[in-house]
């Protein structure tokens, strides 16, 4: 890698600009001098040699598109001169070997987690309050208002104070002072917590549970069952109206299917049986408080790193994501797998074009065949409504160099590292096998992150090149920046900066190792993620319609 350009794979016929390059500038790669035919913005790609219409374009060693018009040597790839194109895929065509990274330095390391009766270990200790149907959202929010501030889980609302200052200035007639009034940030998060070993009460409101099709409500029940079984959850309070499609009995069946020996406290109240709203809410609040008293008795204890279950996510990706952040996360995933832990790679629309490589990494034919089936079924569903995986890149992705879904996917798949794929799961199945697991989810950031927590992730690594402010109610989300400019500009949401990879001062392996250390610190409760500090608790269940 030079300080200006990069060729990602020897088989590629395009180069990546690591910094802004100007028309007429001469860059050199492998002894060849290339005169730039136009300005090339950082993160964008340009042709190493002239490409004629129909010529195939390769990045990451994979087919990522075809030229639709002549692209001169040093010409920029755009949505106007390149179209999405990928290689076909079949079943396993070869056996892929794997050399695990050296993890001897972490062999005896532990993290401080919450041990559950079923052997899982949480990186947090949360209580859930869940509605079975949107009709109960109001009651859930009333419980939230009753508990959050009184138990010390609230975040100080600096914006409310900001408005109060404006009101005071307005009432005093000092209108001109309002324009000069600046927001003063504070590190205070409110009063001291009542329960020292409870990390929070989380309220998973949603718009599902009734109406729609029965498959939607069944899938919602399976997702909620996964959240209740997640190792970061101590117990749950469930509010049911009574007549909705998402019946409590279905939720209980889904929990039993995930964990036949489930033993966490589960408080279930049905409004149509309890009577008045006051009776329902007073019972819910009282019984939840008693549950919190018991949950608070659990304290952090040492746990081997094999108990880590790491979700791998990206959102707001840019042209550097597949070069710095995603491969660094991939190396961290390989380290976790080598230590006996689990990792989860999701976002199936963003695996388009790299299917054959992933198929060959599957441990057996059955696992490979399931991936093929799920990918093809998802692609057909998208095409049936006039869409397709090729429509996945967002305007922000395209603006920052990800002009086809195949280019985006080839970089996104790097989050999965190089380890064998031990299992392929359909949404929202629960992870059980140590190693790298594929989970069928949309590419939508929050739907995918929501799914991974429902599948048992107790930590999530989330890469971004443009900046994505999101988190999860029960699973800490570590935000990883692909570039230093973003890390500086949006420092309130970025936890780890892999910009030094682009700058040439750190290797992917060094960043991956640093990321593992950060995971251990977050898992042990030594530090909170930026998403936790901001109170970002995003939760969007996937209705199994088309979502890219």
**Whether pLDDT at 190 is above 60:** no
Q: pLDDT-based confidence at 293, cuts 50/70/90?
A: very high
Dump pLDDT digits (tens) for 494-541.
Answer: 999 999 999 999 999 999 999 999 999 999 999 999 999 999 999 999
The sign one gets for the Cα dihedral 186, 187, 190, 191 is negative
**Whether pLDDT at 1 is above 50:** no
- The pTM (predicted TM-score) of the whole model is 0.94
CB neighbours of residue 528 within 10 Å: 16
Among 47-51, 179-183, 344-348, the minimum mean pLDDT is found in 179-183
**Whether pLDDT at 437 is above 70:** yes
Domains 5-83 and 126-155+190-297 share a fold: no
Residue 519 is inside which H or E element, if any? Answer: helix 508-523
Q: pLDDT-based confidence at 149, cuts 50/70/90?
A: confident
**Whether pLDDT at 187 is above 90:** no
Asked whether the beta carbons of 242 and 271 are under 8 A apart, the reply is: yes
Q: Which two tokens stand for residue 31?
A: 């002894």
Dump pLDDT digits (tens) for 253-278.
Answer: 999 999 999 999 999 999 999 999 99
Asked whether the beta carbons of 226 and 255 are under 8 A apart, the reply is: no
Thinking of the domain 126-155+190-297, which architecture would CATH place it in? 3-Layer(aba) Sandwich (3.40)
Terminal Cα-to-Cα distance of the chain (whole angstroms): 33
Supply the pLDDT for residue 211: 87
Work out the average pLDDT over 230-241.
98
Q: What are phi and psi of 23, to 5 degrees?
A: -50, 135
Asked whether the beta carbons of 234 and 242 are under 8 A apart, the reply is: no
Domain boundaries, the chain: 5-83, 126-155+190-297, 309-533
Q: Residue 323 and residue 45: Cα distance in Å, rounded? A: 13
Residue 129 is inside which H or E element, if any? Answer: strand 126-131
Supply the pLDDT for residue 395: 87
Work out the average pLDDT over 221-249.
98
Q: Which two tokens stand for residue 9?
A: 């794979």
Supply the pLDDT for residue 186: 58
Distances in Å between the Cα of 513 and the Cα atoms of 124, 311, 317, 517 are: 22, 17, 22, 6
Supply the pLDDT for residue 546: 62
Distances in Å between the Cα of 158 and the Cα atoms of 165, 171, 224, 469 are: 11, 20, 32, 18
Question: Mean pLDDT in the chain?
Answer: 94
Three-state secondary structure of 41-89: CCCCEEECCCECCCCEEEECCEEEEEECCCECCCCECCCCCEECCCCCC
How buried is 105 (Cβ within 10 angstroms: 0-12 exposed, 13-18 middle, 19+ buried)?
A: exposed
Work out the average pLDDT over 298-322.
97
Q: Residue 394 and residue 384: Cα distance in Å, rounded? A: 21
Work out the average pLDDT over 430-459.
97
**Whether pLDDT at 212 is above 90:** no
**Whether pLDDT at 53 is above 90:** yes
Q: Residue 464 and residue 519: Cα distance in Å, rounded? A: 17
Asked whether the beta carbons of 284 and 183 are under 8 A apart, the reply is: no
Q: pLDDT-based confidence at 2, cuts 50/70/90?
A: low
Supply the pLDDT for residue 548: 57
Asked whether the beta carbons of 106 and 335 are under 8 A apart, the reply is: yes
Among 289-298, 390-399, 462-471, 499-508, the minimum mean pLDDT is found in 390-399
Work out the average pLDDT over 323-343.
98
Cβ burial 384-412 (10 Å sphere, 16+ → b, else e): eeebbbbebbbebbebbbbbbbbbbbbbb
Q: pLDDT-based confidence at 492, cuts 50/70/90?
A: very high
Dump pLDDT digits (tens) for 96-148.
Answer: 889 999 999 999 999 999 999 999 999 999 999 999 999 999 999 999 999 99
- State percent of the chain over pLDDT 90: 86
Q: Residue 447 and residue 207: Cα distance in Å, rounded? A: 14
**Whether pLDDT at 545 is above 80:** no
Q: Selecting from 3.40.50.2300, 2.90.10.10, 2.30.130.110, 2.40.50.140, what CATH number does the domain 5-83 have?
A: 2.30.130.110
Count of residues in the chain: 548
Q: Residue 137 and residue 248: Cα distance in Å, rounded? A: 16
3-class SS at 23? coil
Dump pLDDT digits (tens) for 389-404.
Answer: 877 788 889 887 888 8
**Whether pLDDT at 386 is above 90:** no
**Whether pLDDT at 185 is above 60:** yes
CB neighbours of residue 123 within 10 Å: 28
């Amino acid at each position: 890698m030079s300080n200006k350009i990069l060729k990602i794979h020897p088989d590629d016929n395009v180069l990546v600009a690591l910094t802004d390059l100007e028309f007429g500038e001469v860059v050199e790669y492998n002894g060849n001098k290339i005169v730039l035919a136009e300005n090339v913005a950082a993160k964008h790609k340009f042709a190493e040699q002239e490409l004629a219409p129909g010529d195939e374009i390769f990045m990451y060693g994979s087919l990522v598109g075809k030229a639709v018009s002549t692209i001169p040597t040093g010409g920029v790839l755009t949505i106007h001169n390149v179209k999405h194109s990928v290689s076909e895929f079949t079943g396993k065509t070869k056996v892929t070997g794997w050399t695990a990274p050296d993890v001897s330095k972490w062999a005896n390391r532990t993290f401080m987690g919450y041990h559950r009766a079923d052997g899982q270990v949480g990186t947090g200790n949360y209580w859930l309050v869940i509605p079975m149907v949107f009709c109960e959202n109001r009651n859930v929010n009333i419980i939230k208002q009753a508990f959050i501030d009184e138990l010390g889980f609230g975040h100080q609302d600096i914006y409310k104070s900001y408005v109060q200052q404006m009101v005071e200035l307005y009432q005093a007639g000092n209108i001109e002072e309002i324009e000069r009034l600046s927001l003063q940030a504070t590190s205070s998060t409110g009063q001291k917590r009542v329960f020292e070993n409870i990390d929070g009460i989380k309220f998973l409101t949603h718009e599902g549970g009734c109406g729609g099709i029965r498959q939607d409500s069944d899938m919602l029940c399976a997702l909620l069952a996964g959240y209740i079984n997640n190792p970061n959850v101590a117990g749950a309070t469930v509010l049911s109206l009574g007549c909705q499609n998402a019946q409590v009995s279905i939720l209980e069946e889904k929990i039993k299917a995930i964990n036949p020996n489930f033993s966490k406290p589960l408080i279930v109240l049905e409004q149509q049986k309890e009577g008045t709203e006051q009776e329902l809410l007073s019972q819910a609040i009282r019984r939840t408080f008693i549950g919190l008293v018991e949950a608070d008795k659990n304290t952090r204890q040492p746990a081997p790193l094999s108990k880590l279950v790491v979700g791998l996510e990206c959102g707001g990706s840019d042209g550097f994501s597949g070069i710095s952040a995603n491969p660094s996360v991939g190396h961290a995933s390989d380290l976790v797998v080598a230590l006996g832990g689990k990792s989860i790679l999701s976002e199936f629309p963003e695996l388009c074009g790299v299917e054959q490589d992933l198929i060959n990494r599957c441990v057996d034919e059955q696992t490979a065949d399931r991936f093929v089936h799920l990918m093809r079924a998802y692609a057909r569903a998208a095409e049936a409504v006039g869409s397709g995986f090729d429509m996945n890149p967002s305007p922000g992705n395209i603006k920052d160099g990800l002009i086809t879904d195949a280019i985006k996917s080839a970089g996104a798949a790097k989050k999965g590292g190089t380890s064998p794929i031990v299992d392929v799961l359909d949404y929202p199945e629960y992870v059980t096998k140590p190693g790298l697991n594929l989970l069928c989810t949309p590419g939508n950031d929050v739907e995918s992150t929501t799914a991974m927590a429902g599948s048992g992730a107790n930590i999530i690594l989330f890469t971004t090149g443009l900046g994505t402010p999101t988190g999860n109610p029960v699973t800490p989300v570590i935000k990883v920046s692909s570039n230093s400019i973003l890390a500086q500009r949006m420092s309130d949401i970025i936890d780890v900066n892999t910009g030094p990879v682009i700058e040439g001062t750190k290797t992917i392996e060094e960043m991956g190792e640093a990321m593992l250390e950060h995971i251990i610190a977050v898992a042990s409760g030594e530090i909170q993620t930026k998403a936790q500090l901001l109170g970002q608790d995003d939760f969007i269940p996937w209705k199994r319609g088309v979502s890219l």
